[in-house]
Structure formats: structure tokens, C-alpha cells
Amino acid sequence: MEQHDRTPPECTEAGLPPAQPILTEEDIARIARGLSHPARVRILSEFTVCTPHLVQEIVADSNLAQSTISEHLRILREADILFARKDGPRVWYCMRRTVLREFAAAILELADDSARYADELILDPR
């Protein structure tokens, strides 16, 4: 990533509404839609280190146009996967790790429920 002359804001979720500890079906579907494009998954891989990123940094690390990246960032924000912090003319993007953790937990719970149901059918196939 290229370096900029200003220090990015801290990448914390302080001041944001807390992630729901129990996601609704609508929440799960919204987050899944946000993750449903390979380019968005690739963009999220830029956020493996808890450091905010500018659009220009993400564009520099991809082969996509800035307008395309901006559209994917908008979708990720609407899915509550990323949040933005304004810093003068710049907008820094950070990942909402708590949202992704809750999403992963909800998906695992669905898988566990499905496995339990399958086990029950095997044991009692009425």
C-alpha cells in the first residue's frame, strides 16, 4: 500500500452502533449479499490488518477502476461490513470485524442446526 502524509484515524468501532449479538435472518442475508462478489471478498482481504484504507490504496492494489471500487465499498458499507471515517477530504474505510464474527457464528449455528436435524432423521427416520 502506498503511504500518505497524514496518519489515518484509529480503526475502531467506537461511536458506531454495536453489532447485533444475535443477527436476524434479514441481517444474515444482507451481509451475505455484501460478500457475494469476488471483488468484494478481495477488497476485504486488504483489511486483514486492522488498519484503515483509502479508496486510492485499494485501487492501487487491484486491477479495477476507482468507480468500480467505490461501488463495491458502498455495497460493503450498506451491508455493515465496512464503515467510513471522514478525515478532511479523505474517507478512510475500516472493517467491522464484530459484524463478520457474528455473521460467521450465525452461519456455523445454521450448519450445526442442520447437522443435528440430519442426525435426528438418521436415528429416528419416521
Selected from 3.30.565.10, 3.40.718.10, 1.10.10.10, 2.70.98.10, the CATH number assigned to the domain covering 25-123 reads: 1.10.10.10
Contact 71, 89 (CB under 8 A): no
Q: Which residues of 36-52 are buried (b: 16+ CB within 10 A; e: fewer)?
A: eeeebeebbebbeeeeb
More confident residue, 38 or 111: 38
Q: Enter the pTM of the model.
A: 0.76
pLDDT tens-place string over residues 66-89: 999 999 999 999 999 999 988 888
Residue 54 has pLDDT above 50, yes or no: yes
Contact 1, 60 (CB under 8 A): yes
